[in-house]
Structure 1
Amino acid sequence: MERNIKAERLFFEYVDEESGSRVPVLKDLNLTIGQGEFVAVLGHNGSGKSTLAKHFNAVLLPTTGKVFVNGIDTSDEEKLFEIRQHVGMVFQNPDNQIVATIVEEDVAFALENLGVEPSEIRRRVDEALKQVEMYEYREHAPHQLSGGQKQRVAIAGILAMRPDCIVLDEPTAMLDPKGRREVLKTIRQLNRDFGTTVILITHYMDEAVKADRVVVMDDGKILLDGTPKEVFPQVELLKSVGLDVPQVTELIYELKKEGLDLPDDVLTEDECVEVLKNLLQTAG
């Protein structure tokens, strides 16, 4: 069985309720994401990135073209349940996904609806909460948790379903810096330690830098697709479509414009310090 997500000549459009006209959102898009990859998807508002994410577990279906999840056509209504077992989604606001008054009950909610045996539910809930480092809060009320903790509970609810892939649509947008760090750490651990495929829709460049691969969208199409070190040095192109680059990458870009001989692919503060230190030592 194929273990990937694949979009083939994907078009999607919706009908504007006021004018009745058809509005294209995704345009002849082709993309394959392999099992175990950590992919960040970037793009300004309206670029189509969230619309694309919703095709990965059949929340939306193509107008034309195909999307396959582990070889299953997402337009096959009889396979909808199976598709959503393979691909789980975490949205921006964790309050919209939390339905119970106790953390462990919330994580168990979907499993109970599926009729999973109680002993298996107990095992999966405990395992999922430990994976996101929220096991000690299992008997707490969700409303007493911080934003980052709530989002980790929402992720645990998806993990309990045992998906191959988790799609996160701007999961840190409503969080403070501490909450963002907590959630990003959880996402990276899931990918690194458990081999979970992660598709992260984000506006934050420092989150995208941590990914294995960065896909940049513009006007419903894929503009760039490569490693962070391949994508982010293209500063002028990224800025032309309304995106930022990591701060250290922009610093190096500005220094190079002043004539300094520096590498393009500097993404982290540590790399920047090392590069500038070497430059100063060379200069005497």
Structure 2
Amino acid sequence: MEVFAKLENIIKVQDVSYAYTAEGNAANVLEHVSLAVPRGQFVAVLGHNGSGKSTLAKLCNAILTPSEGVVYVDGVDTRDEEMIYEIRQNVGMVFQNPDNQIVATIVEEDVAFALENLGVEPKEMRKRVDDALKEVGMYDYREHAPHQLSGGQKQRVAIAGIIAMRPACIVLDEPTAMLDPKGRREVLKTIRGLNRDYGITVVLITHYMDEAAKADRVVVVDNGRVILDDTPKNVFSHVEKLKGVGLDVPQSTELIYELRKAGYPVDSHIIDEEACVNEILRLLEE
């Protein structure tokens, strides 16, 4: 029997609390959080700095283990130290700064690095490296030095290094925070393509509302607790609640919110520009 049983939920967080300890004092950053991530879903996790969202990301990959409660990856308890290696193959992690994940002087060698450590046979390794670089649109740069690449290109190479390991899920902890708008678009397009075209489960930690709006589901974390968990349209309709915890909403949603405050009968669930334009045109025609 296989250890990983291909359960419906790739990640299950069950009544989890986590406390960091400093100078003998413990401070909870997550308190009794429960959520499940179905296989193949694209989930965005929002929250201001210090809300606990990055801690939640690290718990999904067994970089951290809960102070209380349990995190399961495909049914396996992340506290099981004998299974850490398999858990991290099943759920790959991409961090904010790609320079912290790039270890080689040639792009294709960097993507192959983890596979070499896994003892993957050379012919299979070659195929996985080429496939991964093609999937993130970086195959033509395979012989380049990573330091010559833009921030967005480096991050796509870091993602290629993870997907070469063939994970079922990728957790990305603010992968576009250090990028310019072009780099952000490149990386988000790559993430969406991996989810849509290859069925890879994506957990995206972000503070960009437009990125979260592209997800299947948005989870909002504040002071260590989940305060909203729904579709992007439903989550962003709670404009005042989001602003109350220091978050913004997509610009289209903000405009619709202001129109509603002014008494215009517009749909509060609009999150993209095209729908916003159509709603304003409808108002003008009426």
User: TM-score, normalized by length of structure 1?
Assistant: 0.98
Take 1:188 and 1:21, find their aligned partners in 2: how far apart are those partners?
A: 41
Match of 2:21 in 1: 15
Match of 1:257 in 2: 261
Take 2:213 and 2:111, find their aligned partners in 1: how far apart are those partners?
A: 30
Using the TM superposition, give the Cα deviation of residue 211 of structure 1 relative to its aligned residue in structure 2, in angstroms: 0.2
Answering whether residue 216 of structure 2 is matched by residue 220 of structure 1, we say no
Using the TM superposition, give the Cα deviation of residue 15 of structure 1 relative to its aligned residue in structure 2, in angstroms: 1.0
Match of 1:163 in 2: 167
The sequence identity of aligned pairs, in percent, is 69
Take 1:45 and 1:278, find their aligned partners in 2: how far apart are those partners?
A: 39
Letter in 2 for 1:47: S
The alignment partner of 2:179 has SS state of: coil
Match of 1:72 in 2: 76
For residues 5-28 of structure 1, what are the alpha-carbon distances to aligned partners after superposition, in whole Å with 9 as ceiling and x for unaligned? 0011101101122xx211111101
Using the TM superposition, give the Cα deviation of residue 64 of structure 1 relative to its aligned residue in structure 2, in angstroms: 1.2
Indicate which of 121, 129, 132 corresponds to 1:128. Answer: 132
Using the TM superposition, give the Cα deviation of residue 272 of structure 1 relative to its aligned residue in structure 2, in angstroms: 0.6
Where do 1:234-273 residues align within 5 Å? 234-273=238-277
For residues 196-247 of structure 1, what are the alpha-carbon distances to aligned partners after superposition, in whole Å with 9 as ceiling and x for unaligned? 0000000100000000000000111100000001100100000000000001
The alignment partner of 1:39 has SS state of: strand
For residues 79-110 of structure 1, what are the alpha-carbon distances to aligned partners after superposition, in whole Å with 9 as ceiling and x for unaligned? 01110010000000000100000000000000
The alignment partner of 1:256 has SS state of: helix
Take 1:223 and 1:84, find their aligned partners in 2: how far apart are those partners?
A: 28
Match of 1:5 in 2: 11
Match of 2:29 in 1: 25
The alignment partner of 1:270 has SS state of: helix
The alignment partner of 2:137 has SS state of: coil
For residues 105-158 of structure 1, what are the alpha-carbon distances to aligned partners after superposition, in whole Å with 9 as ceiling and x for unaligned? 000000001111111110100000000010010000001111000000000000
Structure 1 unmatched ranges of 5 or more: none
Where do 1:84-95 residues align within 5 Å? 84-95=88-99
Tell me the C-alpha RMSD between the 2 structures.
0.6
Indicate which of 255, 276, 281 corresponds to 1:277. Answer: 281
Aligned length: 280
Letter in 2 for 1:196: I
For residues 65-91 of structure 1, what are the alpha-carbon distances to aligned partners after superposition, in whole Å with 9 as ceiling and x for unaligned? 100000000000010111001000000
Match of 2:178 in 1: 174
Take 1:231 and 1:43, find their aligned partners in 2: how far apart are those partners?
A: 13
Take 1:228 and 1:141, find their aligned partners in 2: how far apart are those partners?
A: 38
Match of 2:66 in 1: 62
Take 2:279 and 2:233, find their aligned partners in 1: how far apart are those partners?
A: 15
Structure 2 unmatched ranges of 5 or more: none
Take 1:114 and 1:86, find their aligned partners in 2: how far apart are those partners?
A: 13
Indicate which of 115, 120, 128 corresponds to 1:111. Answer: 115
The alignment partner of 2:207 has SS state of: coil
Match of 2:42 in 1: 38
Take 1:9 and 1:256, find their aligned partners in 2: how far apart are those partners?
A: 38
Letter in 1 for 2:138: M
User: TM-score, normalized by length of structure 2?
Assistant: 0.97
The alignment partner of 1:100 has SS state of: coil
